[in-house]
Amino acid sequence: MPRNESWLLKLLARALSLRRSEAMTLGSGRSFRQFLRFAALFSLSIIVPAGLLSVFALRSIQAEELQVDADLQRRADALALEVHQELQQTFDKFERQTSDRLLHGQSPLANLAELSPYLRAAFRFDAEGRLVAPFTLSDGPLVREPSTFYQRQWTAGSRAERAGRWDEALKAYRTAAATTSDPSLSGEAEYAAARVLASAGHVQEADQALADVYAARADVRDRWGFRIGDLATLKRAELAMSHNPDVGRVALESLVEQLLSDRWSVGHPGEAAVARRALHLLDGRSDPDWLGRMKTRLTERTSQLFWAGQLKRELVLFQGDVEHLDRGRFRYVMRSEKSPLWATLWLGNSLYVFSFDYGSIVTDLRADLQRSARLDDELFAQVLPLGDQTPEGTLKRRRLAPWAPYQFVVVGMKNPASIVGKKIRMRRTRMIIVLLAVSMSVLGVFLSLRLVRNELEGARMKTDFAANVSHELRSPITQIRLKAESLQLDLVYDDDDRRAHYDAIVHEAERLSRLVDNVLDFAAIERGAKRYTFRPEDAPSILYQAIEAAQSDFESREVAVEAEIPEDLPVVWCNREAIGQVMTNLLSNAAKYGADGDWVGVRAHQEGDMVEVSVADRGLGIDPEDQARIFDHFYRSASAAVRRRKGTGIGLSIVRYIVEAHGGTITVDSTPGEGTTFTFTLPLENPEEPTY
């Protein structure tokens, strides 16, 4: 062998870590030289370009670093300006649409969502600074506190009305109305009395009473903020619906339109509740389009009324002289950071005041900014309150006045180290890419070596298998030949010796037959041609037959067999010959590797819908690293104690194939030096795929 080949192949033998002699490894290595040449060429073709790429990347960084500062500043300015312009466009659209409405004689106090999604309420003041639309401001309590006697009579009337005692309720309400001079209290009691008349069935008398209440108390509000006239009109319309639906429907429609046209009073929800009740009564009786329009108007006015109640304290501040305001121009006012944003427009003799939800504006602005900022992995952008400290690394700070006067947008570097950190990351990124490319090429070479190692290991195992089979075949053939020649030449002492020779020939022939069967079965399994036919079989008879067949092996090795096989085991679906072969292989292994323990145990029991069979010994045991591969084709442990015992390495692979073909499983539990237990299962019912 040439000297350069010798050291190269020896190095290859150690790298592959093949568990065999150095001479055999060197023999395999000669067939591997071409792959080494390929691997060297592969490495050079990848690593050299990767090195050139690294040089080019480092040079390109120098040019890119010159543009970092200017590019970051430009992008920060653009992002801050974009936020400011988006906010400006939102309010420019509001101003334009509001002006268009006023130009065309339309009111800007309705359909506020069309003007701006952030607009919550709109109001109109006259030249004297009085609120004139769509609501009015009221001061003080609704009514004064009722007297004790009035409250007692009112409570008595309410209880009697709920119980259906109409006369008692009517008397109590009328007594309450007569005991007070407050128009609100007397009006609510008179309306309650008329309501009782209607409930009692006195329709005409109730209608007249309601008409009298309306005539006397139309604009008077009760203790709960309801105009008594509205309640009387609603009740009269309900009464009309019962005997003249068309008249009642017209009355209810007129009431709804009147309520939605009137100016409501801030803090009094009565008009909204009456209109909602009237629309409920009209469901299914009025034109659906009309109903839809009225419900939309009611929802909007109710929302405005709620916001007006929340803003009542600030609304009062707009009352007074408004002549100092610039005419025809929108002006934005925000009195504190927690107050709403107001927009005012002084046009003609009216001051229009619009209230915006400042919190929603800021929240949406921050959300939009976060979405846009995520597109840039180098810059951060935030909307912060005016008093907050500017974050470290800020490149641009811009105030969002006049629409968000207490907020400002800041844009800066995400990395506090700023430009220096940017340059370091650029260099690091390039180096990572280069190192990744080189690492991938090295990994490719390593994986290729591993692949070839596995292929050589497989080839070695097949070679060992052929050698082991040859050796296994030679041994029984030699024994048969020797015993037969002794008989042929009459080299026996007596009849007992002759019988021993015949028994030896039969034993070795059976051993040879099992070996040939295993090899043939394995070849069929490798080709995918092995099939089994399943039939219901008696499990104890199969197991005892296999134990009896292996008895000669146990006796020759002086091994005691202990069987715990219940006679009442249920019938299993299996191929009798195949399961017999499984037991023969397992018992042969137990006798071969468990002889030192002088004991082999066979146990069987039912486990759910399976019969579980175990074959145990107290022999060598199996190393944990070998247990994962013990069922692989041709695999035999590298242990010297195992190697001294004969074997082909295909017995357990055949066992696993047969058991799995029957729909069962096989497992091994072993402790080195203590013994091994193989456990397999057989189904009680025919497998779902009886193709094996």
- Whether residue 402 is preceded by a cis peptide bond, meaning omega within 30 degrees of 0, is yes
Decide: helix, strand or coil at residue 296.
helix
Measure the CA–CA gap between 128 and 571, rounded to whole angstroms: 105
Mutual angle of helices 418-488 and 495-527, in 10-degree steps:
150
Percent of the chain with pLDDT over 90: 6
Decide: helix, strand or coil at residue 406.
strand
Look at the block and give the residue holding tokens 């020649």: 485
Q: Are 635 and 668 in contact (CB under 8 A)?
A: no
| Nearest residue to 123 (alpha-carbon basis) of 261, 266, 232 | 266
Question: Which burial class, exposed, middle or buried, applies to 214 when counting CB atoms under 10 A from its CB (0-12, 13-18, 19+)?
Answer: buried
Measure the CA–CA gap between 44 and 674, rounded to whole angstroms: 53
CB contact set of 507 (below 8 Å; sequence gap of 6+): 552
Q: Are 344 and 352 in contact (CB under 8 A)?
A: yes
Please name the residue ranges forming H helices in 288-347: 288-310, 312-317
**pLDDT score of 603:** 94
Measure the CA–CA gap between 594 and 618, rounded to whole angstroms: 6
Q: Are 642 and 513 in contact (CB under 8 A)?
A: no
The helix (run of H) or strand (run of E) holding residue 342 is strand 341-347
Question: Which burial class, exposed, middle or buried, applies to 658 when counting CB atoms under 10 A from its CB (0-12, 13-18, 19+)?
Answer: buried
Kindly report, residue by residue over 492-535, the tens digit of the pLDDT: 677 777 776 676 677 667 666 665 665 655 555 555 556 778 88
Measure the CA–CA gap between 344 and 331, rounded to whole angstroms: 5
Q: For the chain, list residues with pLDDT below 50.
A: 1-5, 13, 16-28, 140-141, 467, 471, 640, 690-692
Measure the CA–CA gap between 217 and 177, rounded to whole angstroms: 13
**pLDDT score of 3:** 47
Residue 459 region, left (φ>0) first, then alpha (ψ -120 to 50), else beta?
A: alpha
CA 446-449-451 angle, to 5 degrees, is 110
Supply the pTM of this predicted model.
0.46
**pLDDT score of 22:** 45
User: How does DSSP assign 359-390, residue by residue?
Assistant: HHHHHHHHHHHHHHHTT-SSEEEEEEETTSPP
Q: How is residue 462 written in tokens? A: 């097949």
The helix (run of H) or strand (run of E) holding residue 651 is helix 651-661
**pLDDT score of 16:** 47
Measure the CA–CA gap between 451 and 442, rounded to whole angstroms: 14
Domains of the chain in start order, with CATH, are 148-311 (1.25.40.10), 531-683 (3.30.565.10)
Kindly report, residue by residue over 251-277, the tens digit of the pLDDT: 888 988 888 888 777 777 788 888 888
Report the b/e string of 459-472 with b at 16+ CB within 10 A.
ebbeebbeebbeeb
Measure the CA–CA gap between 575 and 530, rounded to whole angstroms: 12
